[in-house]
Structure 1
Amino acid sequence: MNKFLLLILLAASSLLFSQEVSKKRVIEVLSRLASDEMKGREIGTPENDSAAIYIAKKFAENNLSFCVADSYLVPFEYKGKVVYNVCGIKKGESEKIIAFSAHFDHIGTSDKTEDKVFNGADDNASGVTAVIGLADYFKTLKTDFSLMYIAFNGEEKGMKGSKAIVEIPNLQEQHQNMTALFNFEMIATVSQFGPNALYMTGDEFSNLDELFNEQAANNLKLYPDPYKKQKLFYRSDNVSFVKKKIIAHSLSTVDMTKAKHYHQLNDDLEIVDFDNVTEIINNFGKTIEKFTPKNFSPKYTDQVNFN
């Protein structure tokens, strides 16, 4: 084979796989967000602001465009303070948008024990890591859909950030073009369905999971919500978009019947399965790559409550 041709093929091959997100990157991002220095990322604290700025820097590394004005930081008011959601967008061939989201705030610190920091590695540094990981994955790839990346603030205080961002006048066109929002909520552990699997809250309310699974890469799978009695579909940031009649579901791996770390001090890096998180991010990216406005247009059923 001609050496010049061989070099071209090797270069093309390296570009083909260059978007893979490394385990090292996943560890770097998740560890920073869940570090003691972040002091539990409670909304209204300097450390919460630091987390927002950190996420914004990661969006900048991926050359995302601003969603609003001239910053990734999207301000809103909480108890008299200016706090921030974080939002970036990558333009695709179409104006139609697929959004990836997760909340980055957690519940702060405790003064009652020696370990004072609620690190929130699973809840929800893991979800934000998936959002940043997908921005990494698609950095150099052309996509049919435009891709929006949102890190919500104030979920722990009643979904304050997502409620604020859906009402921003300058984002209404993007909301109208949003085909679906995938909200990552606690994906640090291996699900009860095994590795490389998530469950989707409110699966009975749309055909999003069926359409996703038809295209899913490397045996990644979205399973039905095993905790329907807990009504998780209406208890996370996706519901702010549901009320706008935008297809929006939360995806998780946490076993609600066994998890002992939810809102506890032991929700730290020791419980994170970094191999599984990395696999999910990469296979999610490979799946989204296949989507076009023609083959991916999920619809709600008549069972969903938009109020």
Structure 2
Amino acid sequence: MRKYYFLFAVLCSAIVFAQEVSKERVTKVLSALASDKMKGREIGTPENDSAAFYIAQRFQENNLAFCTGDSYLLPFEYKGKVAYNVCGIQKGKSEKILAYSAHFDHIGSTNKNGDNVYNGADDNASGVTLVVGLSDYFKNANPDFSMMYMAFNGEEKGMKGSKALADTQNLQSTFSKISALFNFEMVASVSQFGKNALYMTGDEFSDFDELLNANAENQLKIYPDPYLGQQLFYRSDNVSFVKKKVIAHSLSTVDMNVAKHYHQLNDDVNIVNFDNLTSIINSFGKTIQKLTPENFNPKYNENVNLN
């Protein structure tokens, strides 16, 4: 009988589980990034550096490996200064990679009296919180895919950070293994499609959303982009990787027809629906747990512009 107890103990020690992310954790991370102390996280400022350091600390907590070199912080030059992207990786059962990204910079602050900080809670502390949340979710898991987590800088100045990261020579072989990149952009609100629902830019260019919806858990649902005339697929950080022929789409919940907080001073934590954001994080986690290189291998069609 003793040998069966030993075998059971060995099996239990070998099994690692994903863990749901709490609303308290989501609130803490987003509130830190969108705090007045961060002064709007404008690239080229000390507060922007502080945001990068904060994200790197969260990656360290979750025992991620460095994407390259000896730091999560990947420097690039911006107007004669050093700015940082943040990147961490988690090995899975396969060399194939699912990548998750969001930009962490925003537009800074003003000199006016009173509320003068563009906190950027939705744009895009919410997206970064989702990326961090997924790294939390899979911290103790052994997923079928390897996982890559990226926080881009300088999106507000023309996607400077994602372009720099996509061109990093030491990472080209890693990028070639990415099966799909999920870029999260403004996910703080309940979408026009309801709770636990997002829309995807460029849905007409690949089967990414169909494959994701086929494996969706917790009633997670990805809808087509309702703003086709705005060409959002080519206006966010995902396009830096599209040009590398990586399957890369942006996902969002913001209703562009009614949102009054875009690049406004009222984009603070008061507009965040933390219940919905927490649900989205955990629903993505459960869904991604079902994905394998065999059942999730999206492809572009002939309509996409890869140049």
For this structure pair, what is the TM-score category when the shorter chain's length is used for normalisation?
A: over 0.9
Q: Structure 1 CA distance, aligned partners of 2:110 and 2:253?
A: 26
The answer as to whether partners of 2:99 and 2:178 remain within 8 angstroms in 1 is yes
Give the conservation status (yes or no) of the 8 Å contact 2:152–2:162: yes
- Cα distance, 1:291 vs. partner? 0.8
Instruction: Identify the residue that residue 65 of structure 1 maps to in structure 2.
Output: 65
1:113-152 matched pairs, under 5 angstroms = 113-152=113-152
Alpha-carbon distance in 1 for matches of 2:38, 2:67: 25
- Aligned counterparts, 1:193-212, within 5 A: 193-212=193-212
Cα deviation for residue 157 of structure 1 reads 0.2
The amino acid across from 1:239 in the alignment is V
CA drift of 1:112 comes to 3.2
Classify the secondary structure of the residue corresponding to 2:194.
coil
For 1:45, the equivalent position in structure 2 comes to 45
Q: Hey, what does 2:253 align to over in structure 1?
A: 253
Residue of structure 2 equivalent to 1:303: 303
Q: What's 2:108 paired with?
A: 108
Once the 2 structures are TM-superposed, how far is the Cα of residue 213 of structure 1 from its aligned partner?
A: 0.1
Please tell me the residue identity of whatever aligns with 1:116: N
Output one character per residue of 1:187-226: Cα deviation in whole Å (capped at 9) or x when no partner.
0000000000000001001000000000000110100000
Percent same amino acid at aligned positions?
72
SS at match of 2:84: strand
Could you tell me how far apart the structure 2 residues matched to 1:112 and 1:61 are?
38
- Number of aligned residues: 299
The match for 2:272 is 272
Shift of 1:17: 7.0
Contact 2:126–2:187 (CA under 8 A) maintained in structure 1: yes
Pairing of 1:54-93 with structure 2 (within 5 A): 54-93=54-93
**Cα deviation 1:63-91 (Å, max 9, x = unaligned):** 00000100000000000001100000000
**1:110 CA drift (Å):** 1.2
> What RMSD in Å do the two structures reach over aligned CA positions?
1.7
Match of 2:219 in 1: 219
Equivalent-residue separation in structure 1 for 2:269 and 2:18 (angstroms)? 27
1:36-58 CA distances to partner (integer Å, 9 max, x unpaired)? 00000000000000000000000
C-alpha distance in structure 2 between counterparts of 1:235 and 1:301, whole Å: 19
3-state secondary structure, aligned to 2:126: helix
Cα pair distance change 1:238/1:18, threshold 3 Å: closer
How far apart in 2 are the matches of 1:141 and 1:71?
23
1:233 aligned to 2:233? yes
**Quick one: structure 1 residues 35 and 116, their matched pair in 2 at CA, closer, same or farther if it must change by over 3 Å?**
same
Classify the secondary structure of the residue corresponding to 1:95: coil
1:76 partner SS? strand
Offset from partner CA, 1:247-271 (integer Å, 9 cap, x none): 0000000000000000000000000
| Counterpart for residue 286 of structure 2 | 286
In 2, distance between residues paired with 1:18 and 1:214?
A: 21
CA displacement, residues 88-139 of structure 1 (integer Å, 9 cap, x when unaligned): 0000111111000000000000123521100000000000000000000000
Unaligned segments of structure 2, at least 5 residues:
none
Please give the secondary structure, in 2, of the residue aligned with 1:111.
coil
